[in-house]
Amino acid sequence: MTELKMIEIFYPESQYSRRDRILREAAKLFNEKGYPKTTARDIGNAVGILNGSIFYYFPTKGHILAAVIRDAMSRGEQVVRQALADSPPDPRDRFEVLVRTHLALLFSEESRYAHQVANREWKHIPAELIGPLRQLNQSYRQVWWQIMDELDEIGLLRIPKDTLFRFCVGGLNWTGRCNIDRSQEVVNKLAREMRELVLCES
């Protein structure tokens, strides 16, 4: 199963509740207009409900932003962990799967808007809601660290782990914002090229 297909399983459109639809449309609007310029009326119009009805599900617009990011991070980590559980045992292959899945989450129609919002609008998360999001962020970092530790143990890293993490995640997140072909073939190609760039294969 490809990473893009796996994401569809974790984002079953047929099971979207009204809350899910609010978050999905909010993610698109936050990505398109920016968080400060998006109003509850904008979100309500996109979902097809009165803007006041949104506050039955979320007390403030800040809570909507936090929920968009929390759901993106939580589901994203589930997808990554499942992909790694199904991957070959060789750390080089596991690294490539990790890169491929991270990139697929940024390319998939089901998840890319929320992840772009997480990368760009973090500074607008209300202070009282940021703690659990930092914990999710740290949990995902640990996934990367596990793979990098496996590679480091057998001498396959070209650069220090801190630098590698920033280079890979920063580069992948920026690539997710580019207007390029988002097919699985491109995902595979970019992941393979990153593997060749940062790992000592010979």
Checking if the pLDDT of 13 tops 60, the result is no
> How far, in Å, CA of 118 to CA of 23, rounded?
13
> How far, in Å, CA of 103 to CA of 106, rounded?
5
**What is the average pLDDT score of the chain?**
90
Read off the pLDDT of each residue in 98-126 and give the average, rounded to a whole number: 92
> How far, in Å, CA of 105 to CA of 111, rounded?
6
pLDDT tens digits, 162-202: 999 999 999 999 998 888 888 889 999 999 999 999 998 76
**Tokens standing for 170?**
């920063």
Task: Specify the pLDDT at position 12.
Answer: 58
- Got the DSSP string for 17-46? -HHHHHHHHHHHHHHHH-TTT--HHHHHHH
Q: What is the CATH number of the domain that holds 108?
A: 1.10.357.10
Domain that holds residue 139: 3-198
Instruction: From residue 179, give the alpha-carbon distance in Å to each of 34, 75, 102, 107, 174.
Output: 18, 24, 17, 10, 11
List of residues 6+ apart from 66 with CB closer than 8 A? 125, 126, 129, 130, 133
* Residue whose tokens read 């890169």: 99
For the ranges 1-5, 34-38, 77-81, the lowest mean pLDDT is seen at 1-5
Total domains, the chain: 1
pLDDT tens digits, 40-63: 999 999 999 988 899 999 999 999
